[in-house]
Amino acid sequence: MSRLLDSPPAPGGSPPAMGAKTLARSLRDGVNGVDFNRFRFWLQVFFFAFLVYGGFLGIDLGHSLPTFSCVYNGEGRSGMCYLAPLQHQLAQPWPKLFGEAGIAVLVGFSIFFLWFIALNKGWCGFICPLGTIQDWITGLRKRLGVRYSRYSETQFQTLSWIKYVLLALMILIPLGIGGGYISHDMSAPYCAICPARLIIPVFAGDFRQLVVDFSSPAKLVMTALGALVGGLFLIGSFVKKRFWCFFCPMSAFHYLLSKPALFRLKKDGDKCTRCGDCYSVCDLQIKEIADDVKTPQIMMDDCIVCLKCVAACPEEGALKASFAGMTIFESTEAGFVKRMEKGVRS
């Protein structure tokens, strides 16, 4: 949008060009001064309803969505989280996987990648139903007047690796199944422990996932582990903002693929005063957002691109969100003041 404003006026008509410029500036100021938290809340509500109940309206976005549109939400889902089919595809016998079925794997991954690069980790910050549920739990905590927890720097650095470990296991275990080394009862290992499997179908009235499966030792361990993680998710999300996003293998997967993404978070270090407002509103406690004044592409691996940092930044143009090189939302002093009056710190 800024580039649009900077573009030369249309030839042969300065008054209309001026009008367009004024309109564009008004639009830019309107966007940059938006009541961001309210906007994001309703956008999340929309996407939650779309992904959790859209299936009842016949909506089907396919099998390769880069967000937790849970496969176990059978009728309601309007698309499928890519991690489920990926794990099952990788669990095919090796001759098949590295043969004709490999084409299906590549096709599925390509579709996933195309979905992903459009919004980058904005899928996490705005669209993921499980992320939205965590934000709702956070909202409940705030209403109850309970303060939230934060990790120490040491804890942060240590726990930050868990999502990569989960991602590796999510790939290696299915491959082991396909190779005949691991029981089929371990299929879709991440889905077995994913809180989305337990919680999202409940929103569609399906409670069938709230079980421990005693049919085999592997099933028993995985479903019991899933229940344990489900309990941890509930209490963790209550005391820690975006508790699960910190451990989410989808988040790790996103980060590994994020280089060519169109939607980006950028920082102009020259304009940053290191006031720390961005860090204080960051649900994921990403310190670099405040400390790093050298890296323009500031999106870190834990980032969910919720853009709360942009909304909380008082410096003109220090933080900005862009799509395909075009700035669509940036920090402004006017926007900061406007939001502060409404209470941007949530």
Partner 1 sequence: MKASDSLTAIGALTAGLALLGAFATPVLARPSKAPTALVAQPAPAPQPAASAPMAAAEPNAPEADLSRPWPEPLWLSETSANRAGSKKSQATDAPSQVSDHQNHAGMGAGGAPMASVQADAAEAMVDMAGSGGPKTLWLRRGGDPATAPNAKLADEHIALRIVASDGKHWEAPLTQDARGGLQAKVDLPTLGFYDAYLLRQSVQGGVLDVQLAKAELLKGTCCSKRDNDLYKPAEDNSLPIEIIRAHGPDEKLMTHITSGEKAVFFVRSYGKPVAGAKVSIETQEGWGKHASTNADGRVEFTLVRDYFPDWSDFNRRKTGTFLVLAEVERPEAGAIDGQNYSVARYQTSIAGRYYPAPYDYQSYAYALSLILGVATFGGLAVWLHRHRRARPFKEIRFNEQAA
Rg (CA), the chain: 22
Residues in contact with 62: Cβ distance below 8 Å, sequence separation at least 6, in sequence order: 79, 80, 111
Pick 167 or 311: Cβ nearer partner 1: 167
Cα–Cα distance measured from residue 76 to residue 218, given in angstroms and rounded to the nearest whole number: 29
Cα–Cα distance measured from residue 207 to residue 199, given in angstroms and rounded to the nearest whole number: 9
Pick 172 or 228: Cβ nearer partner 1: 228
45-74 residues near partner 1, rule: CB under 8 A? 55, 58-60, 63, 71-72, 74
| Least distance from partner 1 to the Cβ atom of residue 114, Å | 16
Which member of 51, 128, 186, 191 binds partner 1 (CB under 8 A)? 191
Number of residues lying near partner 1 (CB under 8 A): 51
Instruction: Give the end-to-end CA distance of the chain in Å, rounded to a whole number.
Output: 28
Which member of 122, 129, 174, 236 binds partner 1 (CB under 8 A)? 236
DSSP state of 328: E
- In this structure, what are the phi and psi dihedrals at residue 58, rounded to the nearest 5 degrees? 85, 10
| Least distance from partner 1 to the Cβ atom of residue 101, Å | 5
Residue 173 sits in the site that holds partner 1 (CB under 8 A): no
Residue 241 sits in the site that holds partner 1 (CB under 8 A): no
Residue 92 sits in the site that holds partner 1 (CB under 8 A): yes
**CA 278 → CA 121, 272, 331, distances in Å?**
18, 10, 11
Which member of 80, 252, 265, 321 binds partner 1 (CB under 8 A)? 80
Cα–Cα distance measured from residue 226 to residue 218, given in angstroms and rounded to the nearest whole number: 12
- In this structure, what are the phi and psi dihedrals at residue 102, rounded to the nearest 5 degrees? -60, -30
Residue 88 sits in the site that holds partner 1 (CB under 8 A): yes
User: Site residues (CB under 8 A) for partner 1?
Assistant: 55, 58-60, 63, 71-72, 74, 80, 84-85, 87-89, 91-92, 96, 100-101, 104, 107-108, 149, 184, 187-188, 191, 198, 207-216, 219, 223-224, 227-228, 230-232, 234-236, 238-239
